[in-house]
Amino acid sequence: MPFRDRFVLRAAAAWTVFVWAVFVKNIVGDPHHSTGFKVVHVVLAIVSVGFAFAIWTVASRKRLRERQTSRD
């Protein structure tokens, strides 16, 4: 996988984590939103961060495989 592709995947994963972290921080303490709204969005955040972690892992794993292949 080219460096640019790995960079885009990692940037997207990092951006996802950043956006959801800021959003959750802002809504948890906000008294204007219902508990249901907060719970649903925290669950969405957890799922999205999980996918971001998976994307980062795939990009990293592919790089490790390429390094091992080039050494052989």
Q: How many domains does the chain have?
A: 1
The answer for residues whose C-beta is within 8 angstroms of residue 14's C-beta and 6 or more apart is 52, 56
15, 30, 64 from 58: Cα distances, Å: 16, 36, 10
Q: Which pLDDT score, from 0 to 100, does residue 3 have?
A: 86
pLDDT digit string, tens, across residues 10-65: 999 999 999 999 999 999 989 999 999 999 999 999 999 999 999 999 988 866 67
- What is the value of pTM for the model shown? 0.79
- Provide the residue range defining the domain that includes 9: 3-71
Q: Which pLDDT score, from 0 to 100, does residue 2 have?
A: 83
Residue with tokens 């802002």: 26
* The pLDDT of residue 66 is above 80: no
Classify residue 38 by its DSSP letter: H
18, 38, 44, 47 from 30: Cα distances, Å: 19, 9, 17, 22
